[in-house]
A and B are shown apart, each in its own frame.
Chain A
Amino acid sequence: MPQPGQSTARSAFGSLVLIAIVIGAGAAAFAYTAGWLSPERLTPDRLVDALRPPSGEPLGHRRNHAKGICFTGVFESNGAGAALSQAQVFTRGQYPALGRFNLGTPDPNAPDATVRVRGLGLQISTPDGQEWRTAMIDPPFFPVSTPQAFYDLLTASASKDPNAMKTFAGAHPEIAAFGAWAQSAPWTGSYAEDRFNGLNAFTFVDNAGAEHAVRWSLLPAVPPVAVAPADLAKRGPDFLEQEITQRVASGPQRWTMVVTVANPGDPTADPSKAWPDDRRAVEVGTLTVQQIQAEPDGPCRDINFDPTVLPSGIRTSDDPFPAARSSAYAKSYDRRTAEAANYPRTTTGAKP
């Protein structure tokens, strides 16, 4: 049907405006979802940026726990965990383990005696094709209650404002307990003498489908011997890596894995709150470290010890940290794999 030209033009113009509105709204919704319109959103990029040490971006390295050394070994399950979780890793048997001893610092060149927090990343593989990855540290509780508080802690620590830490501690009183631990807990001269704690609460699902809130730890077979940090400093900047290499070369080193089961009402969403000592603790198996390999060519180098890589039978709980860690670890992994040229593989036998 013919229409007057002017009306057609106006209607076409109206249509084009409508199209522009639809496209603009779609693009705006996308930008909002991506966080481009919300600069205050705590993104993995911002969290990982906040870890940048004064020594500069550790190109090619993990953005935290940047200094470490690889190990391989075996996890021998004694079967006791099978009552708590249907995961195959708790069925009696031996399963290959791969891991990494590390220092809680974003500086890959930090001298060992200067780093208060030590860690252990672990991956256990089972014949059903599943993996359990966990990254543990040696304090008995986490410094802060929430991922946002962890970001605020990083920001306050890096701040030039002399009152920044005081202000932070006022808003996050839980940091005081960690400060007390850092001051008073003994230092050891070996990773083999350290106890590593998962700290985050997870949910075990047993064969009947019942859920159990748990945390886990690795207890060293070697009794710890306290050494003053000043004495450790005299052993050289890399004494921990040298010591564990020699020790494992002369014999495998063992840790007992203990799963602690919460009582009803115990806090699962806050890793800064340790559970009381009388909680049921189940020894589920033994980690045996059989071989140490330097990180540049080691099997742990390109493993992201993402604590949400879990076999069925273990689930995340209401603890907000595993999700935040997973998101930030992925960002760290994406960055460091793109920077691999900055962290060359060293030995002649390296993979191409």
Chain B
Amino acid sequence: MSGVRRRFTPAQRLLHWLIAVCILAMLFIGVGMVSTITPKYLTLVSIHKPLGIAILVLALIRLALRLRYGAPPLPADLPAPMKLGAHLWHFAFYALMIGMPLIGWAMLSAAAYPVVLFGSVHLPAILPQSDSLHALLWDAHFYLAFALFALILLHVAAALFHALVRRDGVFETMASVSTHDEIAR
């Protein structure tokens, strides 16, 4: 490749926004369902499980694209702590994006609940039944969900900071709808 990519590839941008919508929906569905006993509970749970698996699949594709295509470089004048923060944020986010669905799936498995995707389509258990594992995974799923939401708020704040205050082009690497794959020479 003769130059440095200034934007994420169109496929990466599409996945980013698709996953953004899915994860935000997932987090709101999650905190909503565990705080109600109305019939909405069953509806929300029945969305939560297949959506989680969908996010897992999309996140793995996204990880593969990231490993294949990388990311545009951060601006040279970005202070070092902010660069470090950005890198750490991405590690944490990818870990949670892939980890949360697996934790949820494992948690249901440890409780011997059937993992229903839709109708009669079930996923196999990925852990044996275990009260201690269930308790551990339940705590992890619960608290990491709030960590994930906090990361998203941080991400939105940082993205808007780049867009509105620094105006350094970082926001546009992901926000642009253009499909033109620009390479800076």
A: residues with CB less than 8 A from B are: 12, 15-16, 18-19, 22-23, 26-27, 29-30, 33-35, 41-44, 47, 128-131, 147, 302-304, 306, 308-309, 311-312, 316, 320, 322-324, 326-328, 333-334, 336-338, 340
Contacts and interface: CB of A to CB of B under 8 A. Distances in A.
A22 B138 contact: no
B165 A337 contact: no
Contacts of A22: 156-157, 160
Contacts of B32: 33-34
Given A19-B164, A131-B114, A327-B36, A340 B157 contact: no
A89 to B, nearest CB: 13
B37 A328 contact: yes
Task: Give the secondary structure class of A's interface.
Answer: helix
Nearest to B130: A302
Interface residues of B, number: 38
A320 B38 contact: yes
Interface in B36-66: 36-42, 45
A337 B135 contact: yes
Contacts of B119: 312
A15 B164 contact: yes
Q: Which residue of B45, B132, B135 has the most chain A CB atoms within 10 A of its CB atom?
A: B135
B151 interface: no
A18 B164 CA distance: 9
Interface string B145-168: 000010011001100110011000
B129 interface: yes
A47 B122 contact: no
A304 B28 CA distance: 25
Closest 7 CB pairs of A and B: A35-B35, A15-B164, A34-B31, A338-B135, A324-B37, A337-B131, A312-B120
A327 B27 contact: no
Interface in B102-143: 111-114, 119-120, 122, 129, 131-132, 134-135, 138-139
Given A12-B165, A327-B36, A304 B113 contact: yes
B146 to A, nearest CB: 9
Nearest to B107: A334
B149 A30 contact: yes
Contact of A147 (B35, B37, B112, B156): B37
B39 A323 contact: yes
B152 to A, nearest CB: 8
Contacts of B113: 304, 306, 309
A47 B37 contact: yes
B74 interface: no
Given A304-B111, A306-B113, A41 B157 contact: no
Task: Give the secondary structure class of B's interface.
Answer: helix
Contacts of B114: 129-131, 309
Contacts, number: 116
B34 interface: yes
Contacts of B39: 316, 320, 323
A33 B165 contact: no
B42 A323 contact: yes
Contacts of A147: 37-38
Contacts of A33: 28, 31-32, 35
A287 B127 CA distance: 30
Q: Which residue of A12, A326, A327, A328 has the most chain B CB atoms within 10 A of its CB atom?
A: A327
B36 A41 contact: yes
B169 to A, nearest CB: 16
11 contacts: A23-B157, A26-B153, A26-B156, A33-B28, A35-B36, A43-B35, A129-B114, A320-B38, A323-B42, A334-B134, A340-B131
Given A19-B164, A304-B111, 20 more contacts: A12-B165, A15-B161, A16-B161, A16-B165, A18-B160, A23-B153, A29-B28, A33-B28, A35-B31, A43-B35, A130-B120, A302-B111, A312-B119, A323-B41, A324-B41, A333-B111, A337-B134, A337-B135, A338-B135, A338-B139
B41 A15 contact: no
Q: Which residue of A29, A128, A323 has the most chain B CB atoms within 10 A of its CB atom?
A: A323
A23 B159 CA distance: 12
Q: Which residue of B33, B42, B45 has the most chain A CB atoms within 10 A of its CB atom?
A: B42
Contact of B28 (A30, A312, A333): A30
Nearest to A20: B157
Given A19-B160, A33-B28, A147-B37, A129 B122 contact: yes
A30 B27 contact: yes
B134 to A, nearest CB: 5
Nearest to A311: B120
Nearest to B110: A337
Contacts of A334: 134-135, 138
B52 to A, nearest CB: 16
A308 B40 CA distance: 13
Nearest to B29: A33
A42 B38 CA distance: 9
